[in-house]
């Protein structure tokens, strides 16, 4: 399902609005509940057939709709939308004078004479340099993601590009473009920055006149002309015929009842043909292999940054499989607060939850193979690692999978 906003997309960051706080700030990208709520509201309205659209019984049915996303989709000259994913957080970039350094945070074991207060964690992902890190481009094409997640970063040195453009430097690192003058177009094809924030100032009215001290500001995301929001939707049997294939209808996305053109069409999860030719993605995981998971959407684990399906020894089975793994280390930045508005009783604002942000990376060792079927990295793409089944249906915890290698040095 594609949402083409007619205007900016307002996605509040959850801070209180009103009173002395007269500024409404937007998140840098919509969270899964934004698209899940938009899809379920649309389906509920279309299937009401004159009855109550959001009765308690219908809400329970609508909550069974599985929505994965949102992701950024870019319209190419061929008329095909290409999916872009949030940058992985094991990327390391630094600007030194007029050059850009590119490398990766590689896990390194802790020596026997060192300890931590993180339980069974005995490794850390260390940056390859001491320079001040530079934020990478916010969104990557699937091809760039494939290159990154199958690249042997532990066996590679820090790459120093003769350019001050982070996108060109990453293109040179991943695709081997030696002449940066030719890689400028390629960098725009593989990387995208976050949507621009559009600010507006409003006047609060009272009795048909402007209220004294009634000025307030709001912000929203302004997508480029070729950009749109995409998500994959799976309908339960009771709603299977809710929207005919190929339907284009008006809908809403985000706050302020943002109007959007909604395109509903059958589609599989994005898997370029090059993926099936990559041995790093098609070779099954064996005992002792190193497995890397990258969160494509935020995830509210019940144990903070740790999944509930891991025990005190940091061991457990990946959700949806019998592949037993041990967590070695992870790269997780500051939590993302997630709230929202509930149409179910009691109606009102939902309690805030802390989520592990998209792009976070978890490094595992495979302890036992799945006895029922072989598990490849490609099989884990677009799966979910959320603790709660409803969170998984809401779009939380979608992952990409690959491999990794230990760093040579011991901390």
Q: How much is the pLDDT for 179? A: 44
Range with the poorest average pLDDT among 156-160, 334-338, 388-392: 156-160
Closest CA to 254 of 17, 68, 31, 1: 31
307 pLDDT more than 70: yes
Q: How sure is the predictor about 184, in pLDDT bands with cuts at 50, 70 and 90?
A: low
> What mean pLDDT, rounded, does the chain reach?
87
Range with the poorest average pLDDT among 88-97, 124-133, 170-179, 288-297: 170-179
Residue 113 makes CB contacts below 8 A (sequence gap 6+) with none
Say what the pLDDT of residue 286 is.
95
The dihedral sign for the CA sequence 372, 376, 381, 385? positive
Spatial separation of the C-alpha atoms in residues 400 and 56, rounded to whole Å: 35
The answer, yes or no, to whether residue 182 has pLDDT greater than 50, is: no
Q: Say what percent of the chain tops pLDDT 70.
A: 93
Position 180 scores a pLDDT of 47
| CA 111/CA 238 separation, integer angstroms | 57
- Which positions ≥6 away from 282 have C-beta within 8 Å? 275, 276, 376, 377, 378
Of all residues in the chain, the percent with pLDDT exceeding 90 is 52
Task: Read off the pLDDT of each residue in 235-241 and give the average, rounded to a whole number.
Answer: 84
Q: β-strands 23-24, 209-222: how paired?
A: parallel
Cα 158 from Cα 292, distance rounded (Å)? 21
Range from 62-66, 215-219, 361-365, 368-372 carrying the lowest mean pLDDT: 215-219
Apex CA 176: angle with CA 124 and CA 226, to 5°?
A: 90
The burial of 46, by beta-carbon neighbours within 10 Å (0-12 exposed, 13-18 middle, 19 or more buried), is given as middle
Alpha-carbon gap, residue 329 to 405, rounded angstroms: 12
Please determine, for residue 373, whether its predicted confidence score (pLDDT) is greater than 80: yes
Give which of 376, 410, 382 is closest to 395, Cα–Cα.
382
Global confidence as pTM: 0.91
Query: How large is the average pLDDT for residues 128-149?
Result: 91
Please state at what angle helix 142-149 crosses helix 166-175, rounded to 10 degrees: 60
User: Is the per-residue pLDDT at 177 higher than 60?
Assistant: no
Work out the number of other CB atoms within 10 angstroms of the CB of residue 339.
Answer: 15
Poorest-pLDDT segment among 58-67, 156-165, 175-184, 210-219: 175-184
pLDDT confidence of residue 164: 86
- Per-residue pLDDT band at 238 (split at 50, 70, 90): confident
């Amino acid at each position: 399902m594609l949402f083409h906003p007619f205007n900016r997309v307002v996605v509040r960051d959850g801070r209180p609005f009103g009173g002395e706080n007269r500024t409404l700030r937007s998140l840098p990208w919509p969270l899964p509940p934004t698209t899940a709520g938009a899809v379920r509201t649309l389906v509920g309205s279309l299937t009401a057939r004159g009855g109550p659209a959001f009765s308690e019984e219908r809400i329970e049915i609508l909550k069974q709709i599985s929505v994965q996303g949102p992701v950024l989709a870019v319209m190419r000259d061929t008329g095909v939308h290409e999916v872009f994913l949030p940058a992985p957080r094991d990327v390391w970039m630094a600007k030194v004078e007029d050059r850009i350094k590119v490398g990766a945070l590689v896990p390194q074991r802790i020596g026997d004479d060192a300890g931590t207060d993180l339980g069974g964690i005995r490794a850390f992902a260390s940056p390859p340099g001491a320079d001040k890190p530079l934020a990478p481009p916010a969104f990557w094409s699937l091809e760039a993601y494939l290159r990154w997640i199958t690249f042997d970063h532990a066996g590679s040195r820090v790459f120093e590009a003769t350019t001050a453009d982070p996108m060109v430097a990453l293109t040179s690192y991943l695709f081997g473009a030696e002449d940066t003058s030719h890689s400028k177009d390629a960098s725009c094809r593989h990387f995208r920055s976050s949507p621009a924030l559009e600010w507006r100032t409003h006047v609060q009215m009272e009795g048909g006149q402007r209220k004294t001290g009634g000025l307030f500001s709001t912000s929203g995301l302004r997508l480029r002309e070729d950009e749109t929001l995409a998500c994959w939707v799976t309908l339960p049997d009771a709603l299977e015929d809710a929207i005919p294939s190929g339907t284009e209808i008006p809908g809403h996305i985000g706050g302020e009842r943002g109007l959007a053109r909604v395109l509903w069409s059958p589609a599989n999860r994005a898997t370029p043909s090059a993926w099936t030719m990559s041995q790093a993605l098609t070779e099954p995981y064996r005992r002792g292999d190193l497995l890397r998971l990258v969160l494509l959407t935020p995830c509210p684990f019940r144990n903070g940054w740790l999944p509930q399906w891991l025990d005190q020894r940091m061991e457990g089975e990946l959700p949806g499989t019998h592949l037993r793994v041990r967590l070695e280390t992870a790269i997780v930045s500051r939590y993302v607060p997630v709230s929202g508005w509930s149409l179910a009783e009691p109606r009102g604002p939902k309690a805030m939850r802390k989520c592990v942000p998209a792009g976070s990376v978890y490094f595992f060792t495979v302890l036992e193979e799945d006895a029922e079927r072989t598990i490849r990295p490609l099989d884990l793409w677009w799966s979910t690692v959320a603790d709660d089944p409803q969170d998984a249906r809401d779009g939380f915890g979608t992952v990409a999978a690959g491999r990794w290698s230990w760093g040579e040095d011991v901390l």
